[in-house]
Amino acid sequence: MSLPIFLIGARGCGKTTVGEALSQALGYAFCDTDHHLQLVTQRSVTEMVAEEGWEGFRARESESLKAVTAPGTIIATGGGMVLAEANRRFMRENGRVIWLSAPPEVLAERLENQPEAGQRPTLTGRPIAEEMSDVLRERAHLYRAAAHHEVNAMQLPESVVEEILQSLSLARA
């Protein structure tokens, strides 16, 4: 059986980009928990947070994680998925977990260059580079705890895919 592969990491680390490429390389399906959540609720993340707060959003996020988990699937998770210990345990127990790791400056630069980044509320309202520093300081240990493998996300996406395949001893389909 092909275990699900969970991609974790902060916004901008390449979960969507790398996840889609990895799904092609392996012939797996691709799912994004944020997209699933938006489809199910018919609301944007911004709207959900406005209506139900971060707590409500986090509860729904955990439900989405379970809903999309299936064999032969690459799952790109929301940046805060690792905050809940139940989510970390669920991912570790039900598949292989890959942390796409990159320094905050790199993440901030990518997000600034990405037009749709504005759709997601910033956590603090402060400059994105400062925010990414704080986010990583708070969450790096959680990404590390949840992950089976830490992968350098600063390489070209194809190289990130290659490193993931090697770390999981998987061959291209």
* Contact call for residue 114 and ligand ADP (CB under 6 A): yes
What does each C-alpha distance from 105 to 7, 135, 148 come to in angstroms? 20, 12, 25
Segment contacting ligand ADP by CB under 6 A, of 9-17, 131-139, 143-151, 164-172: 9-17
Segment contacting ligand ADP by CB under 6 A, of 23-31, 89-97, 128-136, 155-163: 155-163
Q: Among residues 1 and 14, whose Cβ is nearest to ligand ADP?
A: 14
> Residue count at the site for ligand ADP (CB under 6 A)?
15
Where in 29-113 does DSSP place strands (E)? 29-32, 73-76, 96-101
Residues of span 6-35 touching Mg ion by CB under 5 A: 15-16
Which residue in the set 4, 5, 6, 17 belongs to the binding site for ligand ADP (CB under 6 A)? 17
Q: Please, what's the b/e burial string for 112-136 (b: 16 or more CB within 10 A of its CB; e: otherwise)? A: eeeeeeeebebbeeeebeebbbebb
Q: Which residues in this chain contact Mg ion in the complex, by CB under 5 A? A: 15-16
